Structure 1
Amino acid sequence: MKLFVLGATGGCGKELVKQALEAGHQVTAVVRNPDKVKMRDDNLTIIKGDVSSEASLADGMKDQDAVISCLGAMPTEDTKAKFTFFSDSIRVIVGAMRAAGVDRLVCITAWCTVRVPEAPERIKSFWYPSYVGVVTEDQGRMEKYLAEEAKDIRYTCVRPPELNEEPLSGKPIIAKEAYCIDLNEGLIGIPRANVACFMLSMLTTTVWDWKGVAIALQK
């Protein structure tokens, strides 16, 4: 498949690009600074783009089979009160997809983009009061936009728990249409490699189209 990958220089993005190339996909990696991408492959095209500019994305999206967003961002002390990176950038991404005629989107968000009562205590006590809570709140606005204003886009929002740098785990993945996974069933941490692998698996199924899916490694 031809994949247009956003956030290709981040932790999940680099892992996803690597796995996609190993699987034989053709990857167009979109980055603000192409010099930051050290990986080279005959099936890898690197282009400069900015998620604040629809025009910088639309041309590269033409003839792609899917868009995968591994974008990540954290607020600063100055921006945390009005942090809208995800809810702003998704509008640009969807606009570019419509212009390019691409309708499949897989993106990463996180557990508890809505503050549900069943959230683990660690999420309530650590994520919510911190900058992480600011991020997940805006990711929730992004998910709401996709659900309400982008019904023409076959989106899947992959919601992992805490990301880590451990190697790919062979443990089974629990996946549910939910905002989190019960910690009696799943682990609070997951390798970025497993998240990337799960995101790529969404390209060969329609089960999670137009849905948000919480994932975790099985205990």
Structure 2
Amino acid sequence: MKLLILGATGPTGRHLADLALRSGDSVTTLVRNPTALGDLAEKVTPVTGDATSHRDIAAAAAGQDAIVSALGRGNSVRADGLFTQASAAVIGAADEAGVSRLVWLSSFGVGSTFAESSATQKTIYRTLLRSIYADKEIADNRIRSSGLDWTVVYPTRLTHGPAKGTYSAGDRLPMKGNPTISRADVAAFMHRAAHGSDWIHRSPVITD
């Protein structure tokens, strides 16, 4: 499969790129600075560009089977419009390039999933993550309203632990406390979703 990965220099995106390569996929990455890919640069097709640019994404998406976005803000709690701008660019570029499949990484607690979160989670989402979650909600709704074969993924709090492969995934999951899931497991789920049709037009919640 030919995959365009957005956010490949981030921790989740790196797991995703490594897994895709091990699985035999052809991987293209859109990055501002190809040197940030490190040793990955020799194994993928790096395209220099901006994930909020329609033109850059359209160029990178040409000939791809799917776009998988693992974009994130790192340790920042400010969105700065990343997700709203990137979602608009991705939708337009995917249509222009003729790519219908999109797997998009969001966060549990965004949008309607907020109502399903625990009291502990709600406190965090209303305060520390308020800016990012507001931006993500606009982006997620825009993607669901697009004509693409989308999947919007909602992981709980991300960790840097190893993949366990024992996480739960569902349209709705009960929450207690502030559960976690490793970035490696999130990447594995997104990769599997891109290769199948089970999660098309669905918004899976995933957690350990």
Under a length normalisation based on structure 1, what TM-score does the superposition of the two structures give? Answer: 0.87
Report the counterpart of residue 142 of structure 2 in structure 1.
145
Supply the AA of the counterpart residue of 1:13: G
- Runs of at least 5 residues in structure 2 that lack an aligned partner in the other structure: none
Report the counterpart of residue 127 of structure 1 in structure 2.
125
SS at the partner of 1:212? coil
| Structure with the higher fraction of residues in helix conformation | 2
Supply the AA of the counterpart residue of 1:18: D
Report the counterpart of residue 69 of structure 1 in structure 2.
69
Structure 1 residue 169, shift from structure 2 partner:
1.0
Contact 2:57 2:90 in 1 (8 A): yes
SS at the partner of 1:38? helix
The 5 A counterparts of 1:41-190 are 43-73=43-73, 80=78, 83-114=80-111, 116-130=114-128, 132-148=129-145, 150=146, 152-171=147-166, 173-178=167-172, 181-183=173-175, 188-190=179-181
Contact 2:52 2:89 in 1 (8 A): yes
Contact 1:161 1:188 in 2 (8 A): yes
Aligned pairs, number:
207
Runs ≥4 in structure 1, deviation > 4 angstroms?
A: 74-77
Structure 1 residue 60, shift from structure 2 partner:
1.8
1:63-109 deviation per Cα after TM superposition (whole angstroms, max 9, x unaligned): 100000000126978xx5x8422112101111111111101000100
Question: Is 1:215 matched with 2:184?
Answer: no
- Runs of at least 5 residues in structure 1 that lack an aligned partner in the other structure: none
Report the counterpart of residue 186 of structure 2 in structure 1.
195
Provide the C-alpha distance between the structure 1 equivalents of 2:125 and 2:40, rounded to a whole number of angstroms.
36
Measured on the aligned residues, the alpha-carbon RMSD in Å equals 2.2
Report the counterpart of residue 29 of structure 1 in structure 2.
29
Under a length normalisation based on structure 2, what TM-score does the superposition of the two structures give? Answer: 0.91
Contact 1:168 1:194 in 2 (8 A): yes
Supply the AA of the counterpart residue of 1:175: A
* Structure-2 change in CA distance of 1:114 and 1:198 (3 Å): same
Provide the C-alpha distance between the structure 2 equivalents of 1:74 and 1:137, rounded to a whole number of angstroms.
16
Provide the C-alpha distance between the structure 2 equivalents of 1:15 and 1:40, rounded to a whole number of angstroms.
11
Contact 2:54 2:89 in 1 (8 A): yes
Supply the AA of the counterpart residue of 1:145: R
